[in-house]
Amino acid sequence: MFHLPIRLAGLGRYLPERIVPNSEVEARCHLPAGWIEARTGVRERRWVTNESNAFMAAQAARGALTQAGLSLTDLDLIINASGTQAQAIPDGAALLQAELGLGGSGLPCFSLHATCLSFIAALEVAAGLLGTGRYQRILIVSAEIASCGLNFAEPESAALLGDGAAAAVVTRAGEGQSSAFHALRLETYS
């Protein structure tokens, strides 16, 4: 276990407007009514209509910055922790930077892709970077459009996944401030 002396200064989220009820997914998966909720507890999910990863990520980022009482110019680094990418080049981090209006700013940004674990991995990387003292305020954003790759022949996953974005402004925990994280353990099994 690794102790993370960091705190979440602000959180944000974005959910697409389109609500997809279980009945729609059950019909596409050829499942009986009530199958999804009985097995997963999920009643609905959100799917994009025209939103991009970068748009959703930017909306979540703005919410996190507002909650933290910060502006875009207060950031030292952006980590795009999304498992689903819009394209290979330019990278999703650069697309997010542009969507935020920071394209010409030179603000460092990069993507960390570890599928479902991307956000957790980004927290560990952010903790290390904050620990060096080089960075003070790091924005981590994860925007996912899982609906574009759902396999309705596999209802176990198709029933669970939706689209959306989450963001966190992460800072080092100062003297006397408690950390939001007591420990982190990132494990992968293949």
Q: Tell me the per-residue pLDDT of 50-96, one tens digit each, with 9 for 90 and over.
A: 999 999 999 999 999 999 999 999 999 999 999 888 888 888 999 99
Q: Can you read off the two tokens belonging to residue 81?
A: 């922790």
Query: Rounded to 5, what percent of the chain is helix, strand, coil?
Result: 35, 25, 45
Cβ proximity of 179 and 6 under 8 Å: yes
| Owner of token pair 């997914």 | 25
Residue 146: give its domain's CATH number: 3.40.47.10
The 10 Å Cβ neighbour count of residue 3 is: 11
Q: Give 190's contacts (C-beta < 8 A, 6+ positions apart).
A: none
Confirm whether 30 is domain-assigned.
yes
Cβ proximity of 159 and 29 under 8 Å: yes
Q: What is the pLDDT of residue 87?
A: 80
Confirm whether 183 is domain-assigned.
no
Confirm whether 188 is domain-assigned.
no
pLDDT band at 181 (very low <50, low <70, confident <90, very high): confident
Of the candidates 108, 103, 112, 106, the one whose C-alpha atom is nearest the C-alpha of residue 135 is 108
pTM: 0.92
Q: Can you read off the two tokens belonging to residue 128?
A: 């290390």
Confirm whether 102 is domain-assigned.
yes
Given a cut of 90, whether residue 179 has pLDDT beyond it is no
Confirm whether 185 is domain-assigned.
no
Rounded CA separation 54/141 (Å): 10
Average pLDDT, integer, range 129-139: 96
If you average pLDDT over every residue of the chain, what do you get? 93
Exposed / middle / buried, residue 152 (Cβ in 10 Å: 0-12, 13-18, 19+): middle
Confirm whether 181 is domain-assigned.
no
pLDDT band at 2 (very low <50, low <70, confident <90, very high): low
Confirm whether 151 is domain-assigned.
yes
Given a cut of 60, whether residue 162 has pLDDT beyond it is yes
pLDDT band at 129 (very low <50, low <70, confident <90, very high): very high
pLDDT band at 190 (very low <50, low <70, confident <90, very high): confident
**What Å distances lie between residue 1 and 82, 170, 180, 183, CA to CA?**
24, 20, 15, 6
Q: What is the pLDDT of residue 154?
A: 94
Q: Which secondary structure element, helix H or strand E, spans residue 79, and what is its range? A: strand 77-80
Number of domains in the chain: 1
Q: What is the extent of the structural domain holding 114?
A: 6-172
